[in-house]
Structure 1
């Protein structure tokens, strides 16, 4: 096992029309580490940029989603330390050195979460969800390394052995909640996740797959499908009728206010909810 000063990382980025941001993400990785870009059938220059910057590129013929893309990247990782990084995120100087030391300092941990900062300077935290039993992590910003109940997917480091034991990300989830699911599975298996305060990553947010009205609707459609799937998988009540009423009211309010963004959000979520309400044909 290499010591911290010799440890090499495999950095996996999943891209979908990410040409505006993927270059900065790749350039933030210090020389000597493996960079893997899995492209989900982009129609822009993401693949060309990744290749020009020396990344190992996996081109998928269709968009298979974030989790599947991560798994495809992990499959060709050469190193024991696999860091999944959003294409609209970047590592700050020294982040990998701090994470390498953390892997030695916390041998019981199977996954690690760096401190994720937004461009505004605010710290990016996990969204509230019912799979997190320890609410302190949602309400209090840690000021030092500590054990946490989940690792946000914008930047998460796994030991390869642990990632493989978990079976990787659940490929039935297309987008959203992959991090919640794999964190819950890791904790339930008796594993540990550690937050590493001095390893810093900056995340632009909402740039990985665009922000047009059509993309907003697309993302919120998959958000609702994933939330329903993960809730059922982990024994939580989803409340489909209540959500149908709530999202319908939100759509009406968006129409009244002529708010295009909120209309797109509600349309995407309602489309998913109507699909989920249809009788299953097994």
Structure 2
């Protein structure tokens, strides 16, 4: 790994919370994902650091131990701090890189100087493409998706929110990109202040994409770059905290998107609806 300050060095930030064997796979596959000089920074939000210490030693990574669970966005900001390269890459521990995938992603992003963020195709374990490039949720779309996605996955509001999976192979601009694997131009990242640390988990990537767009940057989906994403490995056995975090973050995002005294009844109604949905999901997860 290259650690010297250079505009050519790509800093890859991986936020870990009690990871398993998937972290070593992440680091191993990263080696063939690009020919560019890399610096890998592991940010450990957990209490047992054996895995992150081992992977850092084996792959020459920098290990940052936060001392407590800061949440995803705050930990990613710590990992990005002090970077000198043009590009930051933030990714989950359970990502596996296809050979050359990071080069494909960054080459496409560099084709336009206004591209602030770029995201690859995220492949589910069964080979299907996860809808990682989505439009910003409008009020109607967001409510329709929230209420019906579980019982009617192909409803028109969910399809609109997920930007229609039939476009999964099309390189395009989009409203926001999944933070599971995201390349961000450092200039753009710093200009908007990085991730909003008020989001513990979830919606920090939606919020970042919206702020980048408002600042004049493009969010570019690059499906020619492909990574495997298992998803949820750190919390699959304990879903309740993440269900709560997801709904808190949704309430924060919607509250900030619809501000002002005149919209207070709307915000209260949205919070009530999210609370009912949260309770239903918690009951189903028991």
Q: Give me the TM-score of the superposition, normalised by structure 1.
A: 0.80
Change (3 A) 1:7 1:151: same
Q: Which residue of 1 aligns with 2:273?
A: 242
Q: Which residue of 1 aligns with 2:210?
A: 184
Instruction: Give, in whole Å, the separation in 2 of the partners of 1:235 and 1:92.
Output: 40
Q: Is 1:34–2:39 an aligned residue pair?
A: yes
Contact 1:131 1:184 in 2 (8 A): no
Instruction: Give, in whole Å, the separation in 1 of the partners of 2:281 and 2:123.
Output: 30
Q: Which residue of 2 aligns with 1:275?
A: none
Moved more, 133-142 or 118-127: 133-142
Instruction: Give, in whole Å, the separation in 1 of the partners of 2:43 and 2:21.
Output: 16
Instruction: Give, in whole Å, the separation in 2 of the partners of 1:201 and 1:174.
Output: 25
Q: Is 1:152–2:178 an aligned residue pair?
A: yes
Instruction: Give, in whole Å, the separation in 2 of the partners of 1:12 and 1:247.
Output: 30
Structure 1 residues without counterparts, runs of 5 or longer = 1-5, 255-261, 265-282
Q: Which residue of 2 aligns with 1:268?
A: none
Per-residue deviation, 1:210: 2.8
Per-residue deviation, 1:151: 0.8
Per-residue deviation, 1:204: 0.4
CA displacement, residues 78-131 of structure 1 (integer Å, 9 cap, x when unaligned): 421101111011211111221232133122211101111111101011478625
Per-residue deviation, 1:46: 2.6
The alignment partner of 1:11 has SS state of strand
Change (3 A) 1:130 1:47: same
The alignment partner of 2:220 has SS state of strand
Q: Give me the TM-score of the superposition, normalised by structure 2.
A: 0.78
Count of residues in correspondence between the two structures: 247
The alignment partner of 1:181 has SS state of helix
Per-residue deviation, 1:197: 1.8
Change (3 A) 1:245 1:157: closer
CA displacement, residues 231-264 of structure 1 (integer Å, 9 cap, x when unaligned): 111118452333444555666xx5xxxxxxx244
Q: Is 1:233–2:233 an aligned residue pair?
A: no
Instruction: Give, in whole Å, the separation in 2 of the partners of 1:128 and 1:147.
Output: 9
Instruction: Give, in whole Å, the separation in 2 of the partners of 1:25 and 1:247.
Output: 32
Q: Which residue of 1 aligns with 2:92?
A: 86
Change (3 A) 1:76 1:143: same
Instruction: Give, in whole Å, the separation in 2 of the partners of 1:198 and 1:250.
Output: 35
Instruction: Give, in whole Å, the separation in 2 of the partners of 1:128 and 1:20.
Output: 33
Instruction: Give, in whole Å, the separation in 2 of the partners of 1:157 and 1:61.
Output: 26
Instruction: Give, in whole Å, the separation in 2 of the partners of 1:15 and 1:75.
Output: 17
Q: Which residue of 1 aligns with 2:126?
A: 120
Per-residue deviation, 1:136: 7.5
1:208-223 maps to which residues of 2 (within 5 A)?
209-212=234-237, 215-223=238-246
Instruction: Give, in whole Å, the separation in 2 of the partners of 1:250 and 1:92.
Output: 34
Q: Which residue of 1 aligns with 2:56?
A: 51
The alignment partner of 2:60 has SS state of coil
Per-residue deviation, 1:26: 1.0
Q: Which residue of 2 aligns with 1:138?
A: 163
